[in-house]
Amino acid sequence: MKILVTGCSGFLGVPTVERLLAHGERDLRCFLRPGSKRDRLEAVLRRYPDAKVERFVGSLGSPQSAAEAVEGCDVVYHLAAALSGAPADMFLNTVVTTRHLLDAVRAQKKPPKIVHCSSFGVYGVAQLPRGAMVDESTPFEPHPERRDPYSQAKLRQEALVWEYARQYAIPTVVLRPGVIYGPGGGAFSTRVGLNLFGLFLHLGGKNLLPITYVDNCAEAIAVAGRSPAAEGQAFNVVDDDLVTASRWLELYRKRVKRIPTVRIPYAGLTVMSELVARYHKYSKGQLPAVFTRYKSATTWGGNRFDNTKLKSLGWRPIVSTEDGLSRAFEDLKARTALAS
């Protein structure tokens, strides 16, 4: 079985390649952008010398490149997406690239299966009461125009994947990871808070974080991708033993670096969001509307998260949350020391 992996030199891509190899896959085509850093990927591949691995250098911005990459593949693990940039660039590098890939897939005589990495960002949670459970039946975001560009792009991307699945009978599996963390990852999800000119605004409080250790997320992608029972379905990816935003911040301050923080309770955040949104409107956009009530309700409203469906496929975390946090904070500490 020949497998194409996009985004495979990235934070999640490298462990996903590793988990696919660990599950016995031996015929991979790794889609790499020109100039991408490949040290981590090559280190993984060296551990599986018997695997046949093709390094395909191209750009999903090019339909031709996408077509060449998909040619002859049985499964496509689609992990590539823009993580930052101007809104238009996010759509270009997440949604348009995905359409190029899907067009290439549907053009195959026997369309390969798509295993698509989406995001928790697709859910419409602003309307949910505090503490509501977010599972795979939670509706898509009904007001994408009120959301951040990353969520807007990921939402459109997943909708496109399902459109193609329906229209062209493409076997499809969708994974929706929460906050992916681990060595090489970021220090703080916005669900914990925001760094404002050196002062950390702690906004998450006692909210649970929908975290998934990067290797666990990769394992979920591999398990779901290889499971015939998963086809046509979406799966949340969160670990067991979730921690709160407060706990994350406490561990960071204890194990990595003490940073000045200010705790802003949700009621205060709601007032602040309203003021920021009003100033944005009054000043005709002189400062960006970083906070709005809607965005705040989405990010800091406080939900619970369910991984029952993913577990029904046989997935189990391969790294415990305790170990995962230790590894992540050790790496952050090393990187912080190096930077200073």
Binding site for other proteins (CB under 8 A): 33-35, 59, 61-62, 84-89, 91-92, 95-96, 99, 144-145, 152-153, 156, 160, 282-286
Output the CA–CA distances (angstroms, integers) from residue 61 to 32, 49, 98, 255, in the order listed. Answer: 12, 31, 9, 41
Question: Taking the C-alpha atoms of 308, 12, 330 and 193 in order, what is their torsion angle to the nearest 10 degrees?
Answer: -70
Amino acid at 102: L
CB of residue 88 to other proteins, shortest distance in Å: 5
Half-sphere CA count of 165, side-chain side, radius 13 A: 18
Helix or strand (DSSP H, E) at 207: none
Helices (H), 107-189: 149-168
CB of residue 304 to other proteins, shortest distance in Å: 30
Given the complex with other proteins, which of 96 and 201 has the nearer CB atom? Answer: 96
Given the complex with other proteins, which of 58 and 171 has the nearer CB atom? Answer: 58
Residue found by looking up tokens 């049985």 in the block: 74
CB of residue 17 to other proteins, shortest distance in Å: 21
Q: Is 35 left (phi over 0), alpha (psi -120 to 50) or beta?
A: left
Given the complex with other proteins, which of 43 and 88 has the nearer CB atom? Answer: 88
CB of residue 34 to other proteins, shortest distance in Å: 5
Given the complex with other proteins, which of 95 and 128 has the nearer CB atom? Answer: 95
Given the complex with other proteins, which of 36 and 320 has the nearer CB atom? Answer: 36
CB of residue 288 to other proteins, shortest distance in Å: 10
Of 116, 86, 91, 90, which is closest to residue 101 (Cα–Cα)? 116
